[in-house]
Amino acid sequence: MSKELKMKDHTEERDFVYTFLSKNLKSTVTVPVTIPLSTSVSEFVGRLVSAHNLPCYVEDDLTAALTEFVSKETQKLSDARADEAILKVQTGHVSSADLAKRWTKAFTQEVKAYSTPVEVTNDQVFSEVYHTLIHSPALETLLNLEHTYALAVEDLTDQRDKDLQHLDTMQQEDMEQALKNVGASYADEDINTLAQRHFENTQLINSKWMSELSNVHETQKREYRDWVMKVHEDSTSNNGAPAYQQRLRNMSTALPAAEEEERQAPSTRLEESFTIHLGAQMKTTHNLRLLCTDVLDLCRHRPHTIGGVMIPEPQRLQTAMSLYSDSLCAIILLVDNRLNSFTGIKRDFARVCEQSTDFHFSDMDHQMLLIEQEVTKCNDIRVMRRAAEEVDKISIKSTGSSSSEGQDKMLGNKLQMGDVYITKHSNLSEVHTAFHLVCDDSVRSTDITSRHPVILSIRNIIKLCFRHNIDTLTIPLLLAHEMSEEMTIPWCMKRAELLFKCVKGFMIEMATYSSQQSRTIQFLVPQGLSEEMFTNISSMLPSIFRLSNPLVVKSGPHHHATS
């Protein structure tokens, strides 16, 4: 080992000389010892005795001598290193200011006594206060207040939809009238001008309603948080009991009467539940549920009336109480690779989210803006990795390289199949977290395997759920939210079997390093599925998972019940 490398490793070799008497003869052993010694002295002595065939009676004396040698030489080496470091500072090779900064950084990051205290944010304070109130007598009043605010927002969105629908109807009539008179009183340029004017008017009306809705959300969020903090102050202060009770009474009697169409009974959905055991030795009990409903029915709040008065939906109680807990609920939404909420399931989900104010998290638009920034960073990393892989490939053609570069430039903020982005919500019915899983038309194929990017992403989602206390996860069993022509009976059965087996394997894998905690997996099938197909899929599930069936022991003259 060279001296430069030794200096880099902060070690040096010193010769250790040991002399002992054997049969009235003086023997000397000289061995190089690395200072500081990386192993224990006793282990090093054992190696010396074995390597040099030393007599066993010198082992104790050799240990004492080596211990003293290592101690002295280590001290000398430390002193030399310290003198060298001080000399560098004195001669100006090392800046004392930079050295002080590094020491300060090391102490503040590694030693708790010197670290800066973590500042508690307003959101953290509010979350703790809310969690305290939601598990107190103020629970019903909190839900009534949220429900009242939600009704106001819903009324505003209904007005917006009617206004946009009226505008769209008028524009269609204008365009139809103009197309009928093309060549007479309208030219082609007039049609283009009319279409542009219609587009600008629609954008103007949309912007006006978006601004108004945003103002309502912000106002409600501010008022709600102020009310929660004041109720908490009244409940904790000595003289605040009368004010606390008065605030609760004022909000408990503010529920409106239900409209006629809101008094109808909610539609039922097909549902089947199972209890299963997973694991060979340490068995874990989990709950499986097969649902046939619209995926957004798990997100939207349905009207609930008693005595002609609209009251908060019972499901809102469970969702609110588990918001800051270890029992969160999540859902997987299948989306395309564009980061917007203008089409398909993303548009419908965004409309459900804006039906009420989210008092705990940012709104959907703000969360999507942050996600878009992160996606751009991720795509930059992907481009760098691909460039490194291309450099490593020797036999690559120049045309292929330019094509890859062109694809990399087109990435931008686009997502790739199998990517997942997460949004958090407190204003949905049965969902706290939404996993937006990017997929394409390849999931409609009949020959996808367990190595498909979408299925591998489901594995990663299940891993996140096991790590971050998400106890309930809803998975689209057929990897589709709507029925289509290619979804024949064999196709559905094959797809259901594939997902059942994959999810079972993923759960067993995650349970090996996670806590033995019960989870609930909901397999969701599209609403258009027939009852016969639902029954066939339901009967398949017990053959794949191990059900938890009770043991029935008969008692009689020849049968004895055992515990």
Q: Is 229's pLDDT higher than 70?
A: yes
Pick from 256, 281, 315: which residue ends a domain?
256
CB 320 within 8 A of CB 554: no
Q: Examine residue 17 and state whether it is found in any structural domain, yes or no.
A: yes
Lowest mean pLDDT among 31-35, 106-110, 543-547, 552-556: 552-556
pLDDT at 551: 54
Same domain, 148 and 94: no
Q: Examine residue 132 and state whether it is found in any structural domain, yes or no.
A: yes
Outline where DSSP puts E strands in 215-351: 270-278, 284-292, 305-306, 309-310, 328-335
Q: Examine residue 368 and state whether it is found in any structural domain, yes or no.
A: no
209-229 mean pLDDT? 92
Q: Examine residue 377 and state whether it is found in any structural domain, yes or no.
A: no
Query: CATH number, domain at 460?
Result: 3.40.220.10
Q: Which domain holds residue 102?
A: 3-114
Residue found under tokens 């999540």: 330
Strand partners, 287: 275, 520
Pick from 71, 96, 114: which residue ends a domain?
114
pLDDT at 402: 47
User: Which amino acid type is present at position 196?
Assistant: Q
Q: Is 248's pLDDT higher than 70?
A: no
Same domain, 345 and 435: yes
Q: Is 36's pLDDT higher than 80?
A: yes
Pick from 114, 137, 155: which residue ends a domain?
114
Residue found under tokens 């030795």: 281
pLDDT at 179: 83
Same domain, 223 and 302: no
pLDDT at 218: 93
Give the integer Cα–Cα distance in Å for 513 and 466: 9
Task: Write down the mean pLDDT value for the chain.
Answer: 82
DSSP string, 11-45: -EEEEEEEEEEETTEEEEEEEEEEES-SS-HHHHH
Q: Provide the 3-class DSSP secondary structure of residue 396.
A: coil
Q: Is 11's pLDDT higher than 60?
A: yes
Same domain, 108 and 128: no
Give the integer Cα–Cα distance in Å for 126 and 322: 15
73-97 mean pLDDT? 86
Same domain, 110 and 128: no
Q: Examine residue 295 and state whether it is found in any structural domain, yes or no.
A: yes
DSSP string, 221-257: HHHHHHHHHHHHHHHHSTT-HHHHHHHHHHHHT-PPB
User: Which amino acid type is present at position 175?
Assistant: M
> Quick one: tokens of 231?
């109720």
- Digit-coded pLDDT (tens) for 509-551: 887 666 677 889 999 999 888 899 999 999 998 888 877 665 5
Which residues are within 8 A (CB) of 254 and not within 5 positions of it... i.e. 6 or more apart? Answer: 144, 145, 148
- Digit-coded pLDDT (tens) for 363-378: 888 999 999 988 888 8
Q: Provide the 3-class DSSP secondary structure of residue 274.
A: strand
Same domain, 211 and 86: no
> Quick one: tokens of 213?
């809705």
Strand partners, 423: 434
Lowest mean pLDDT among 8-22, 195-209, 497-511: 8-22
Which residues are within 8 A (CB) of 206 and not within 5 positions of it... i.e. 6 or more apart? Answer: 164
pLDDT at 434: 95
Number of domains in the chain: 3
Residue found under tokens 């948080």: 225
pLDDT at 6: 42
Same domain, 179 and 68: no
Same domain, 186 and 300: no
Predicted confidence band of residue 446 (pLDDT cuts 50, 70, 90) = confident
Q: Examine residue 384 and state whether it is found in any structural domain, yes or no.
A: no
pLDDT at 194: 86
Strand partners, 474: 331, 522
> Quick one: tokens of 480?
């589709």
Same domain, 325 and 346: yes
**Which residue did the predictor score with more confidence, 447 or 256?**
447
Same domain, 62 and 192: no
- Digit-coded pLDDT (tens) for 40-73: 888 888 888 888 888 888 888 888 888 998 899 8
pLDDT at 335: 93
Q: Examine residue 45 and state whether it is found in any structural domain, yes or no.
A: yes
Same domain, 324 and 441: yes
Same domain, 33 and 68: yes
- Digit-coded pLDDT (tens) for 93-108: 888 888 888 888 888 8
486-504 mean pLDDT? 92
Q: Is 245's pLDDT higher than 80?
A: no
Q: Examine residue 27 and state whether it is found in any structural domain, yes or no.
A: yes
